[in-house]
Each structure stands twice: as C-alpha cells, then as structure tokens.
Amino acid sequence: MSEYPHHLLQLNIRTLTPLHIGADKGKTLSPYADYVFSPDGKYLHYLNHRKVEEAVLRANALDEYVRLIQSIDNKRSDLDLRRFLTERLKCRLDEITTVRVPCKGLKADSKINITPAVKNAGKPYLPGSSLKGALRTAILYDWLVNTKAGEPELKKSHEEIRQEVARKERRGASKKDVIKADELFGRLNDRERAPYSQFIRVRDSEPLPVEDLCVYSLRRIRIVPGGKSARGGDIPQVVEAISPGVNLRTEISILPKFKNSVLDYWETGKFEEIFSNIAGFSRDCIENEIVELENALDEQGGEEVKTLLEFYEDLKARAEKGAIFLRLGFGKTINDNSLLLAFLNGIDEKAWKEAQKVVSSNKAGEFFPVTRAITPEGQPMGWVEITPVKKSSG
C-alpha cells in the first residue's frame, strides 16, 4: 500500500459550544497552588511556580507560605492565597502568573480542581484521534442503518442483546460492545492487512492561542419524569475548554485502497459525498435529543430543559439546510458516543430499549441517559460545525 495520500481533505472546525478534550487522566489544576482569581472574579491567573517560589524566598516567608497552603487545604475560608501573594509578598498578579483565563460560573470563593484541556507546548488543540473516533462512530452508524451490507450485522447484534436481556445480565458499556465493528473496519490482529480505518488518517489541529480557552463550571441536570426539579447534584465539574466561535484547522488523508466496497465513497475525496453520510448520525442524535427533551418538558418543565431544547431545535433547523455537525469530547451522552441509536432507527424502539438495558448499569426507563452536563449559559458541551477549507484561486 502506498503511504502517500490519494486525497487530502482540509477541514475547518468551528466550535458552537465549549469543547473540552481532557489532558492526562488525574491531572488537575489546584486552587491551593495552581491558580487564583482576579480581584473582580472574572478571570483565573495560573501561577508561575518558579516565580512564586522566588518571591517567597525573597520575602523570607517560606514558613508562612507552607502554613497558608495547609490552612487553605483544611478549608479555612479566612485565608486567601491571592491576598498573601499581593499583600504579603508585594507581587503584582501579572508578574507571577503564566496566563490569565476567563472563567464562567465559578464563584470566587470556590476551592475546586480544574480539569485542563489537552495542550501542545501550552497551546490547546484538537487531537486527530478525537475527531477520528467521532467519524468512525458515524461511519459505522451509516453502514448499519443505511446499507444492505450492515443490516445483517445489526440483526446479529440485536439477537445477542435479546439473549443477554433474557439472562437478566447487566453489564457496563465498557464491558459489553453491543456491535462488533470488525466486519466493516477489519481486525487489529489480522496479519494480512491493517484495519480499514487506518486508511483514513486525521491530523491534529493547528494549536490555538491560549486566549481561546475559558474555564467553565458545569452543572449536571437530571431528565426525569415527574421530578420536582431538573437540577442534579450541587457539586460542579470545572473544565478548561475551547470557547464557542473558535476555528480549528485540520486535514484528513485518505489512502488507497479500501477492501470493503461500502467505504468506496471515501475515495472520491469530495467533502459533500463523504460528510453527507456522516452527517446523518448527528442529525439522528439531534432528533432523538429533541424528542427526549420535549417529553421531559411535558413531564417536569424547567428553564434548563427549555433552553437545551431551543438549542437543539436551532441545530436541527440548520442541519436540515445542509450544515454538518459533530459532537466531540467531554459532555457527549451514550447516544452521541455509541451505536445505540442504530437499533432505534435501523430496527425499532423495542430493540433500542433492549440495547439500553444491556449497556446501562441501571434499568433504562423512559429517559436514557437521565443526566446532561450544561454550561452556565445552559448549553451542552462539544458541538462543532465542519466545513471544507476553500482553496485559494492563486
């Protein structure tokens, strides 16, 4: 197989809602040592540890600094790291910080760890692997729901699910794959050829300036019938995310030649032919979310549900006019991140409910999944619009 791309498809990805692709698992920014709020509470200043240490040593305040950090860690609210840095050490914040990042929904007295976004040399970007994973799911969905070749695999998976339900077994989604993708994409351990998905290579996006980041305090709401409130737990999840309205550039290399003729449309290299198939998955995800939110609004009302519904209705209207959307990164529901909807739109609602019971550790009720992560403005995370990069005439 030639290593040179047969086609090179350049893409522009515009964020519609905040996009968070997490960095290394377990890595966080601590309110006890890594950041402080600006005086007006609208920004976070990320501390330059080396400069803070130098300032502490100059002021001969090491013992005070250690006691302060230990006291804050014990949640004594009468002590403040920013005040210590600016008043005791006589530092200006811009002298001891690496960057200033806006924050939304985070209270100035909060002591919450922040999950950072993935970065390269300190600059945020979209990993090609994240985009490729979303594309792979959409390709599989299209194959299962819209082609004769995928129909037998979907029915086979449904039969396995029926047997699973009959045995009353409940396994998490990470332990039970409801659909095997080998028939379309090939096997990783196939000695004769690489998996077909390796014929599609997605480059990391170009790095963005740090100014395109924002810190969001996310809330989780519950979509439950008859509930008195849509609000979920009181503990927010705080993440760095690329702000809405930011453009990222990337490209897809399409290498000849696919073994499965179902994927031949990729070899045209034409954006419209490739992404018209992929866009169907996102449209079905959007349509399903609208149905779920409409049902929730009828049952429990709530401004948060109404705001989400308005967002998805607008997204649907734009999709029907030809716009192409995908959902990436943190905040996706299992419907965005799996092939569950293939059973609804490829077989029927009963098959879909049976599949839900297999992948869910709890009984799948009228609403599944029952929670949604939303921004302070009430938006979902991770929605982007994809368009081809126009080639210059010169």
Nearest one of 282, 252, 238 to 101, comparing CA atoms: 238
Sign, Cα dihedral of 390, 202, 117, 120? negative
Instruction: Specify the higher pLDDT residue, 123 or 33.
Output: 123
Q: What is the pLDDT of residue 99?
A: 93
Domain positions in the chain are: 7-25+123-388, 35-111
Instruction: Name the strand (E) or helix (H) holding 220.
Output: strand 213-222
Q: Report the mean per-residue pLDDT for the chain.
A: 83
pLDDT digits (tens, 9 = 90+) for 242-279: 999 999 999 998 876 667 777 888 888 889 988 988 89
Q: What is the per-residue pLDDT across 209-218, written as a single tens digit (0 to 9) for each?
A: 999 999 999 9
The 10 Å CB-count burial string (b at 16+, else e) for 348-368 is eeebbbbbbbbbbeeebeebb
Cβ contacts of 139 within 8 Å, gap of 6 or more: 184, 263, 277, 278
Q: In this structure, which amino acid lies at residue 319?
A: A
CA 300: distance to chain centroid? 27
According to the model, what pLDDT value does residue 188 have? Answer: 38
- How far, in Å, are 280, 336, 372, 374, 383 from residue 330 at the CA level? 21, 11, 11, 11, 10
Instruction: Report how far Cα 345 is from the mean position of its chain's Cα atoms.
Output: 24
CA dihedral (197, 199, 204, 205) positive or negative: negative
Q: What is the pLDDT of residue 361?
A: 58
For residue 171, pLDDT beyond 50: no
* Mean pLDDT value across residues 76-96: 82
pLDDT, residue 323, reads 95
331-377 pLDDT tens trace: 998 889 888 899 999 999 988 888 887 777 555 556 678 889 999 99
